[in-house]
């Protein structure tokens, strides 16, 4: 079947994400989605292994989410939060504050994860200004981290091993440390924090660095970061845009680890993959620094679509599903399934590492392989899996049927096993 006319025409005008438009393989036209299936223009179905950039945790077209959004659409797609209020944003703020650990309880809404991180960074800088008058323009971030694509968020990504390295000279310079996975690295972190008094906050992807290739670290490492921040009175930001909403088996990495940040960012699965929405949640004590009779101490940020009513309605419905359906049990089942299915790969010489936590299973190869070729072959085999760097991984909807998950793991096991002979 030939590609649809809209694709032919549109390819002349669309500028795609992270793509060299000259050489990028032609994207596969999609007609519709349901459950964990992507239905292509030519009628073929793909089993989705990554849930649309890790967002569609309840599967696609969940009737309950569609109904909630439809209901809100008929009532009011959106009304601005400046001077006006609507039920969905206020209810969602209350619910997120209830779910978030510790005294994380002040919720700021925006439209994308990158902006949620921008807001977190702004909060940290202004926190110091408001409380002590200090100018602290810098951040400490970790190697392997990914926090977004805007300028400030690019500056806290891994400066070398990331797609943003070419912007290096245009970015504010930050302190980048190795995750404190051992004594020596813990000392290095400690030294950085004690020698530099211009650091406003420390930012980390807790337990799982997603975009770097599903790199995982343990709870002890996270505790060391928390302790170092406590020793130096520094706010700790957890970027939970990927890890939030059950991904690692608990509602947040903070709940899984028992380590609580001062600021948390959420996005991706917040609306179950239906609508763009993100949030920054600050602790009550951070918020206190802004709560004042002095108007210059207010947080100066306000996206046009902040608290978007359609997005908030579907996010509320997504939280209903977490309450009513056994999502976290499903994640535990996926964890067990992935652990078993990928176990044999550990012995293969071409495999450097197998990492599994919650609904994420990753196989890191020792050497480089033909990523584009592998992506194409996966599609031919009826699965949608997108390796990043040297890592082939799954992060499926929590609702995926065991048979579909088996098809996905088998596709990866076969593909990885076969790499040997190349
Ligand atoms: C995806 C992601 C972001 C950026 O979110 P966008 O919505 O793409 O701007 C930031 N941090 C982490 C950890 C992410 O996974």
Over residues 197-215, mean pLDDT? 97
- Residue 68 structure tokens: 């909630």
What is the per-residue pLDDT across 404-417, written as a single tens digit (0 to 9) for each? 999 999 999 999 99
pLDDT band at 362 (very low <50, low <70, confident <90, very high): very high
Rounded CA separation 100/106 (Å): 10
Q: Is 148 in the pocket of ligand 1 (CB under 6 A)?
A: yes
Active site residue 239: yes
Q: Note if 268 is an active site residue.
A: yes
Confidence category of residue 167, pLDDT binned at 50, 70, 90: confident
Which pLDDT tens digit goes with each residue over 287-339?
999 999 999 999 999 999 999 999 999 999 999 999 999 999 999 999 999 99
Which residues have CB under 8 Å from 24's CB, separation 6+? Answer: 16
Task: Output the CA 147–ligand 1 centroid distance in Å.
Answer: 6
Residue 202 CA to ligand 1 centre (angstroms): 17
Question: Is the pLDDT at 422 greater than 60, yes or no?
Answer: no
pLDDT of residue 165: 79
Catalytic pick among 158, 239, 335, 404: 239
What are the residue boundaries of the structural domains of the chain, listed by start? 5-61+326-421, 76-324
Instruction: Using a pLDDT cut of 90, give the percent of the chain over it.
Output: 94
5-61+326-421 has which fold?
A: 3.90.1150
Instruction: Give the mean pLDDT of 376-390.
Output: 95
pLDDT, residue 329, reads 98
Mean pLDDT of 232-250: 98
Residue 420 pLDDT greater than 90, yes or no:
no
Cα of first residue to Cα of last residue in the chain, in angstroms, is 32
Q: What is the DSSP letter of 101?
A: S
Q: What percent of the chain has pLDDT over 70?
A: 99
Residues 11-32, mean pLDDT to the nearest whole number: 95
Could you tell me which residues come within 8 angstroms of residue 105 by beta carbon, excluding any fewer than 6 positions away? 97, 281, 283, 284, 287
Nearest ligand 1 atom, CA 209: 13
Burial 124-142 (b: 16+ CB within 10 A, else e): bbbbbebeeeeebebbbbb
Mean pLDDT of the 188-204 span: 98
**Is the predicted pLDDT of residue 160 greater than 90, yes or no?**
no
Indicate the average pLDDT of the chain.
96
Mean pLDDT of 384-396: 96
**Contact partners, residue 303, CB within 8 Å, separation at least 6:** 109, 110, 111, 115
pLDDT at 361 over 90: yes
Q: Which residue has the higher pLDDT, 160 or 106?
A: 106
Class of domain 76-324: alpha beta
Q: How far is the CA of 148 from the centre of ligand 1 (A)?
A: 5
Q: Determine whether 146 is an active site residue.
A: yes
Give the pLDDT of residue 161. Answer: 75
Element (H, E) at 282: strand 278-283
């Amino acid at each position: 079947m030939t590609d649809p006319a809209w694709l032919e025409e549109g390819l002349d005008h669309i500028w795609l994400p992270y793509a060299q438009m000259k050489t990028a393989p032609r994207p596969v036209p999609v007609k519709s989605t349901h459950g964990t299936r992507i239905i292509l223009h030519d009628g073929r179905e793909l089993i989705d292994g990554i849930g649309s950039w890790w967002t569609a945790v309840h599967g696609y077209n969940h009737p309950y989410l569609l109904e909630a959004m439809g209901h809100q659409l008929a009532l009011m797609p959106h009304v601005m939060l400046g001077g006006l209020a609507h039920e969905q944003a206020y209810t969602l703020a209350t619910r997120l504050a209830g779910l978030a650990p510790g005294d994380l309880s002040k919720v700021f809404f925006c439209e994308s994860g990158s902006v949620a991180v921008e807001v977190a960074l702004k909060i940290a800088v202004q926190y110091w200004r408001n409380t002590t008058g200090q100018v602290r323009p810098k951040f400490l971030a970790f190697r392997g981290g990914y926090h977004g694509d805007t300028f400030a968020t690019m500056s806290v990504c891994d400066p070398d091993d990331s797609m943003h390295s070419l912007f290096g000279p245009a970015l504010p310079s930050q302190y980048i440390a190795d995750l404190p996975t051992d004594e020596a690295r813990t000392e290095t972190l400690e030294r950085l924090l004690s020698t530099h008094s211009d650091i406003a906050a420390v930012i980390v992807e807790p337990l799982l660095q997603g975009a770097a290739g599903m790199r995982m670290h343990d709870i002890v490492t996270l505790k060391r970061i928390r302790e170092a921040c406590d020793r130096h009175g520094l706010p700790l930001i957890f970027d939970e845009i990927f890890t939030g909403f059950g991904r690692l088996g608990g509602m947040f990495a903070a709940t899984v680890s028992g380590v609580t940040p001062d600021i948390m960012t959420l996005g991706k699965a917040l609306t179950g993959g239906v609508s763009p929405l993100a949030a920054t949640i600050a602790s009550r004590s951070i918020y206190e620094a802004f709560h004042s009779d002095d108007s210059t101490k207010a947080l100066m940020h306000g996206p046009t679509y902040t608290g978007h009513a359609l997005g908030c309605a579907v996010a509320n419905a997504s939280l209903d599903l977490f309450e009513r359906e056994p999502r976290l049990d499903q994640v535990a089942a996926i964890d067990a399934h992935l652990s078993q299915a990928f176990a044999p790969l550990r012995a293969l010489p071409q495999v450097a590492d197998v990492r599994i936590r919650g609904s994420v299973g990753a196989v890191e190869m020792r050497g480089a392989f033909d990523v584009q070729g592998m992506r194409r072959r996966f599609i031919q085999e009826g699965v949608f899996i997108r390796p990043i760097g040297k890592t082939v991984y799954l992060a499926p909807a929590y609702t995926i049927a065991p048979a579909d998950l088996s098809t996905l793991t088998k596709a990866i096991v076969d593909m990885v096993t076969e790499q040997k002979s190349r």
